[in-house]
Chains A and B, each alone.
Chain A
Amino acid sequence: MTTIPLRVAGLSWRVRPRAVAVTLGGLALLGLLMALNMRIGDIPMSLSQVLGGTFDVNSADHFVIMELRLPRALTGALVGAALALSGAIIQSIARNPLASPEILGVTTGASVTVVAGVVASGSAYGGVSGLLSTLGIPLLALLGGLTGAVIVYALAWRRGLDGYRLVLVGIGVAAVFTNVKYWLLTVGDVNDTGRAMVWISGSLNGRGWEHVVPVALALAVLVPLTLLGTRSLDALRFGDDTVTALGLRMNPARALMILAAVLLAAVATASAGPIAFVALAAPQVALRLTRYGQPPLLSSAVVGAVLTAAADLIARTVFSPIELPVGVVTAVLGAPYLIHLIWKARK
C-alpha cells in the first residue's frame, strides 16, 4: 500500500493515492449517472434541455427536472452514501465483513414498524389511511429505526461495549424483528403485503425534496465527524485487548461512531426504505478497490452512492412502464460485481 505523508503547518495526514483515485473516479461516475438520470425517463431530454429546465424557471421542463427527477436522483445517491458509510463503520467496529446496519437494529426496527403501520392502517380502499397518513411512513420508519437501535445498544451495553457482544445481541434482536415482520406480512391483505414489500425492498418512487433534505443534513454533519473517528476505527482493527493495552480510550470514540452509524442508517431508511445490500456490499467493494485492510469510509460512501444511482436508473427504465423497487436492482447489480472482485483477488 503506497502512502504519501502530507504535512501542513504541523499537522500531518496520510494520503493514499489509490483511495483518492477511487473516490474521485467514483464521483465522476456518479456525476455521469446523475446526468443520465436527469435525461432518461418518460420524457427523454437532451443535456441542453436538462440544463435549461434546471435554471430556467419558465421552461416547460422545469417541473420535471426540479420536482421529479432531481430530488429522486439526489435521494438515491445520498441514501446510498449514508447506508454505505453506516455499513463501513459497523463492519470496522464489529471487525466482521458480514455486519450491516441490520445488526444495530436500525433497518429491521424500521421495517417491522412500517410493515405494522401499513398492515394496521392499510384498508380495503387501497390507500393509506388513519394514523399512518398523519404521521407518514418516513417518521414511522425513523421512530422504529431509532427504537430498534436503542434496544440493541441498551442490551449490548454492560460495563462498556464489546464488539462481539454487540454482534450477538444484534443477531437476537434482528431475529425477533425479522420474524415479527414475516408474521405481519402474512396477517394483512395481500395488497398491503405488496405495498409493504415495496417499501422493505427500498424504493425511490415519488421521492421529493422532503426526502432529500434530512439525508443531506445528516451527511453534512456526520461525514466530517466520522472522518475524525477514522483513526479510532483503524486502531480497533487490532482487537479490543490490544487497543486497551495501547492506552487508547475506545469506549467514547466507539460509542460516537456507533451513534453516527445508527443516525445515518435511520435517516436513510426513513427516506427510501432499507435499500438492500448497499450497506453490506459498498464497503466491501471499496475495500477491495482501494486495497485497504479495512473499509475506507469516504470511498465506501461514494461507492454506495454510485451503486444506488445506477440501480435506480435501471429500476425505472429497463422494465418501463413497470418500475422495480431500487433495492431489487442494487443486489442484482452489486452482487456480481462484488463476486467479480473477490474472484479477481484470488488469482
Chain B
Amino acid sequence: MTSTAVTPRPHGVQHRRLTVLLVLLGAVVIGVVLSITIGAKSVPPADAWHALTAPTGTENDIVIRSLRVPRTVLGVLAGLALGVAGALMQGHTRNPLADPGLLGVTQGAAFAMVASIILLGASSLLAYIWFGLAGALIASVGVFALGMVGGRGGPTPVTLALAGTAVSAFLYALTSAIVLLDEQAMDVFRFWQAGSIAARGSEVVWQVLPFILAGLVLAMVNAPGLNALALGEDVARGLGQNIALTRTVGVAAVTLLTGASVAACGSLAFVGLIVPHLVRPLSGTDHRWLLPYSGLVGAALLLLADVIGRVVAPPGELEVGVVLALLGAPFFVVLVRRRKPVRL
C-alpha cells in the first residue's frame, strides 16, 4: 500500500496525472456529444447545436431538449456518482467486493419504491423517487448506526460490510415477497432492476441533482482523510485524523451519491463496483486522484453504454445496465488478467 498523501511528488507524476484527468474529461465530453446526437433519430451536430443555443421548436429541437439532454445529464450525474461512490466504499471497507449499495442503499431504495407502489397504487417507479431516496437514506443510516453502537471510534470495515450485506439481503427478501405476491409491482420492478436512464425527463434530473452535488463535494473533502485511513486506523489516529468523522462523512457521501442514482436509474450499482478496479492502475491508491478518475470513467462508460444500447436493437433499446455489463465486464476481466491487480 503506497500513499502519496504526505510525500511530495516530482512534477512529472503530477503532470501525468493532470494529463490523464484531461483525457478522461475529453472522453466524457465525447460521450455527451454522442449521447445527444445518436439515437432512434439521428441529429446532425449542427442541428444539435442549434437546438441547444437557439431553439425554434423544430422536431429536432424538441427531441434534443426534452429527451436527449435530460437523459445525457442524468447519465453523466449517475456515472459520476456511482464511480465516486464505489471508490469511496471500497476505500472505507478496504474490500474489493464492496459495491456502493453495500450499506443497504440499493435495496433500501428498491424496497421503499416497491412498497409505495402497492400501498399508494402508482404505476411507475419514477413517481416515487422521493420514496426511493428516503429508503436509501434510512437503510444506510440504519446500517451505519448499527455499526456504531458500542464501538470505539466508529465501526470497523468488516462489521460495516457484513451488517450492510445482512440488511440488504433482508430488504431484498421483503421486496421479492412483495413483487411475487403482486404482479403489477413485479412488472414495474423488473424494469427498474434492469437499470435505465431513458425517459426520465428533466424533473428527475432536478430532483437528484442537489443530492449528487452534495455527495460529490463530501467525497472530495473525504479523500485526504481516507488516504490516512488506508494506512491503518492506528496510524491515521496518530496522524491526527478523527476516524469517526472521516467514516461518517464517507458514508454520508456514498449514501447521497448512490441513493440518488439508484432511485433515478435503477440498480446500476455494479458500475461503482467495477469502475474503481479499472481506474486503480491509472491512479494508484491516492484517493484524491482515484475519486475523480472513477467518477469520470463511470460517466464516460455509462454514456457510451447507453448510446450503444440505443442503436444495437432497433426499433427497441437495450437497457444501459445490460450493455454496460456486457461491454465493461469483459474489458475488466482482460485487464485483471493482464496486470497484477492493484490491491486495496
Q: Do the two chains belong together in a single complex? A: yes
Given contacts A164-B343, A198-B180, A331-B172, contact A193 B329 (CB under 8 A): no
Closest to A346 in B: B150
Tell me the interface secondary structure of chain A in the complex.
helix
Question: Among the listed B95, B174, B176, B191, which residue makes an inter-chain contact with A96, where contact means beta carbons less than 8 Å apart?
Answer: B95
Q: Which residues of A contact B146 (CB under 8 A)?
A: 339, 342-343
Q: Kindly state the separation between the CA atoms of A190 and B187 in the bound complex, as whole angstroms.
A: 6
B173-192: which have CB < 8 Å to A?
173-174, 176-177, 179-181, 183, 186-187, 190-191
Q: Kindly state the separation between the CA atoms of A324 and B186 in the bound complex, as whole angstroms.
A: 15
- Separation in Å of the B162 CB from the closest CB of chain A? 6
Contact A194 B149 (CB under 8 A): no
Q: Kindly state the separation between the CA atoms of A280 and B169 in the bound complex, as whole angstroms.
A: 10
Q: Which residues of B contact A96 (CB under 8 A)?
A: 95-97
Q: Which residues of B contact A190 (CB under 8 A)?
A: 183, 186-187, 190
Contact B336 A168 (CB under 8 A): yes
How many inter-chain contacts with C-beta < 8 Å in the A-B complex? 170
A75-123: which have CB < 8 Å to B?
96-99, 103
Contact B169 A277 (CB under 8 A): yes
A23 at the interface (CB under 8 A from B): no
Contact B329 A338 (CB under 8 A): no
Closest to B150 in A: A346
Contact A179 B162 (CB under 8 A): no
Q: Kindly state the separation between the CA atoms of A339 and B267 in the bound complex, as whole angstroms.
A: 24
Contact B329 A172 (CB under 8 A): yes
Contact A280 B165 (CB under 8 A): yes
Q: Kindly state the separation between the CA atoms of A183 and B161 in the bound complex, as whole angstroms.
A: 28
Q: Which residues of B contact A178 (CB under 8 A)?
A: 270, 325
Closest to B344 in A: A164
Contact A338 B162 (CB under 8 A): yes
Given contacts A169-B333, A186-B194, A334-B169, contact A342 B162 (CB under 8 A): yes
A270 at the interface (CB under 8 A from B): no
The 3 closest A-B pairs by CB, nearest first: A179-B325, A331-B173, A335-B170
26 sample A-B contacts, Cβ–Cβ < 8 Å, listed by A number: A96-B95, A96-B97, A98-B161, A168-B96, A171-B97, A171-B332, A179-B321, A179-B322, A182-B190, A182-B195, A182-B322, A183-B194, A183-B319, A191-B183, A193-B190, A194-B183, A198-B180, A276-B173, A280-B169, A281-B166, A334-B166, A339-B163, A339-B167, A342-B146, A343-B146, A347-B150
- Listed in ascending order, the chain B residues whose CB lies under 8 Å from chain A are 95-98, 146, 149-151, 158-159, 161-163, 165-167, 169-170, 172-174, 176-177, 179-181, 183, 186-187, 190-191, 193-195, 267, 270, 273-274, 277, 318-319, 321-322, 324-326, 328-330, 332-333, 336-337, 341, 343
Task: Contacts A182-B195, A325-B176, A328-B173 known; list 17 others, CB within 8 Å.
Answer: A98-B162, A167-B97, A169-B333, A169-B336, A172-B332, A175-B273, A179-B322, A179-B326, A180-B325, A186-B191, A193-B186, A193-B190, A276-B173, A328-B174, A332-B173, A332-B174, A339-B163
